[in-house]
Structure 1
Amino acid sequence: MTRYKIAELSIEMKYASQTLLKQAESYRKDGNDPVDMTIQIAEQRLKRVKEAHTHLSLNDCEYILTGFDFYRLLLDFNGFGLHSSAVALNNKAVLFSAPCGTGKSTHARLWQQQFGTDKALILNDDKPALRLIENTFYVYGTPWSGKSDLNLNQKVPLQAIVFLEQAKENHIRQLNSKEALKLLIYQSLRTDSDPDKMIKLLTLHDHLLNKIPIYQMGCTVSTDAVMLVYHTVNK
């Protein structure tokens, strides 16, 4: 077992995935701290997933499954994963969430073009972790960042969540709780078959709705879209 520190949790993992070995290197931390979670994918489970998804390699399957287990166990520590790209600027994190192919990663990179790669940091390009700690939501980078290797082992307070959709003109509005909850549930990494875990997820969603502004934005691929979000969340 190799020891890691991810989202301020001590994690032991055993795996053979070269992708995860590379992605998790900056999270590796030796020590004798109590272990918060252990992740190891059984060989039979790995083979079943590979048989069901023949286009994936065993390396890919193990990388995906270890991430799935991490986000499932994260619910026991007041945290969950949101399918999004997390950008940190001035020690505040904004999450851009959207269905695959809509442009969340493109929008995150536009922030780097606008503000500079030294100031606009991509914490995680696909699956950042969120945790509620002492009444504050924080965003963490994790090794599981989808097809991208863009992730940083950092912790930043959450400022806002923006759900993106493509549009010919830029426009943004803050969602009410009902609208926001529907999108949060759809984009959260969850285990529908585990009622206890779903209750924990919905409880976190409830806290999030009371603390963090959530927006929906129709946007073009432009720096104008970046500045519209920036001025809106910092108004």
Structure 2
Amino acid sequence: MKQAKGYILKDICGVPYILPYGQNIADRKRGVRLNESGEFLWNSLASPISRETLLSNFASHYQARPQMLPDLENDLDQFLQTLSALGMIDFCEEHEYLIGGIRLCLLGHPDCIPEEFLPFTQSAPAHDTVLKLTIELLPAADSVYHPVNTQNNHLLLENAELTIHQVTNGFLFHFPTMTHLKHGFLSLDGTHAKLFYELPYEALLREELFHAIRFLYLYLAEKNDIYAIHSASILYKGKAWLFSGPSGTGKSTHTNLWKTLYQTPVLNGDLNLLAFENGTPVIHGLPWCGTSGISDIHTYPLGGILLLRQDKTDFIEDLSMDEKALLLMQRLISPIWNEQQLDCCLRFSEKLMRKCYVARLHCTKEDSAARTMKHAIDEQLNN
């Protein structure tokens, strides 16, 4: 929770008041007179904070003894109830998720939080890389995130669904086709972000937020040498094996063939997160999985990547080193907004293809395609 917009603390003859302004005046919102503790609590609500943290800070401020805590807690709850009834605080919750070694900290109204993140709810060490994302209601008079005429503004990419500008301190996002989600900001180091939305709270809002958070997450992941590849994955003999190719080439078909013929679990139906741990390539679980609805929260060693190409017969094509690196890079969906990111993706692809099996699978949609691939994988495992 935090202070609602359109209210400000003012001193009137030595007495603190919370007063409305702007639209809140037009809406006939009330002000409220505060005492010293109320002033402390209101100032503490300037940034998003949980009730538990606010209570702890309140107790520390007054150096409260343990026997005083019940009364202090009661005073806090009464104060928050008063502010809530007057519309002076926005309720937001803090949710933490651990995805691929990156701690995603979301601050927002509980009705904004996508449920797809729930399986990734777990504590993470404080030293882990953290992306702090605040999800805020768009102000009625929004003039902050229209960067076309701002100085030091550079257009990175623009299409029907997304526009990204780089400014001095980060990146500005605009989502022209989304119903609720309008603008966003991401710091240059990738650790702080904001997304701005319009009401009402509904499933479509959470869907749009879930989609947009992926852009922010993958930027920070890339800065930590973690990359996402468009692919479906299965677990076979303790390792993850990826099917990658353009949409419509049969990723889902082949994962289903393996599941039917060899009872292999499907890890993710659309997207996999690649990294190195102690020099060994691994995949991390991701909540994003396209329309497949299939995802996994665990980390597995990577066995190999099969690049799919539809054909009339089933066979494995060996690729040259440069073909492997280029084709892998082209399947990555990590940001390539500038030349530096292109270099990072290419270097990672070159490193990856030297550490795992990469080949092209020419394939039909028949059982024979799975048998051909299984034979090639078994040969690799036996070597």
Distance 1:209 1:40, change over 3 A: same
Query: Is residue 2:336 matched to residue 1:192?
Result: yes
Query: Is residue 2:165 matched to residue 1:48?
Result: no
Distance 1:128 1:20, change over 3 A: farther
Moved more, 204-213 or 19-28: 19-28
Aligned residue among 320, 333, 351 for 1:207 = 351
Distance 1:72 1:201, change over 3 A: same
Q: Deviations over 1:141-171 (max 9, x none)?
A: 2001111210011111111101112112111
Query: Is residue 2:127 matched to residue 1:34?
Result: yes
The offset of 1:19, in angstroms, is: 9.8
2:41 is matched with which residue?
none
Query: Is residue 2:114 matched to residue 1:21?
Result: yes
1:132 is matched with which residue?
276
Q: Deviations over 1:103-144 (max 9, x none)?
A: 10111111111112xxx1222111110111111000122001
Give the alignment's TM-score, normalised by structure 1. 0.87
Query: Is residue 2:100 matched to residue 1:7?
Result: yes
The offset of 1:52, in angstroms, is: 3.3
The offset of 1:214, in angstroms, is: 1.0
Distance 1:17 1:149, change over 3 A: farther
Whether the aligned pair in 2 keeps the contact of 1:15 and 1:62 (CA below 8 Å) is no
- Alignment root-mean-square deviation, CA: 2.7
Whether the aligned pair in 2 keeps the contact of 1:72 and 1:197 (CA below 8 Å) is no
**Identical-pair percentage:** 23
Whether the aligned pair in 1 keeps the contact of 2:131 and 2:220 (CA below 8 Å) is no
Matched residue type, 1:100: S
Whether the aligned pair in 2 keeps the contact of 1:85 and 1:127 (CA below 8 Å) is yes
- Structure number with greater CO (CA < 8 Å, separation at least 6) is 1
Give the alignment's TM-score, normalised by structure 2. 0.55
**Matched position secondary structure for 2:271:** coil
Matched residue type, 2:177: A
Aligned residue among 165, 168, 175 for 2:312 = 168
Q: Deviations over 1:72-113 (max 9, x none)?
A: 211122210000001111211111001112210111111111
Distance 1:98 1:15, change over 3 A: farther
The offset of 1:14, in angstroms, is: 3.8
The number of residue pairs the alignment matches comes to 231
Larger radius of gyration: 2
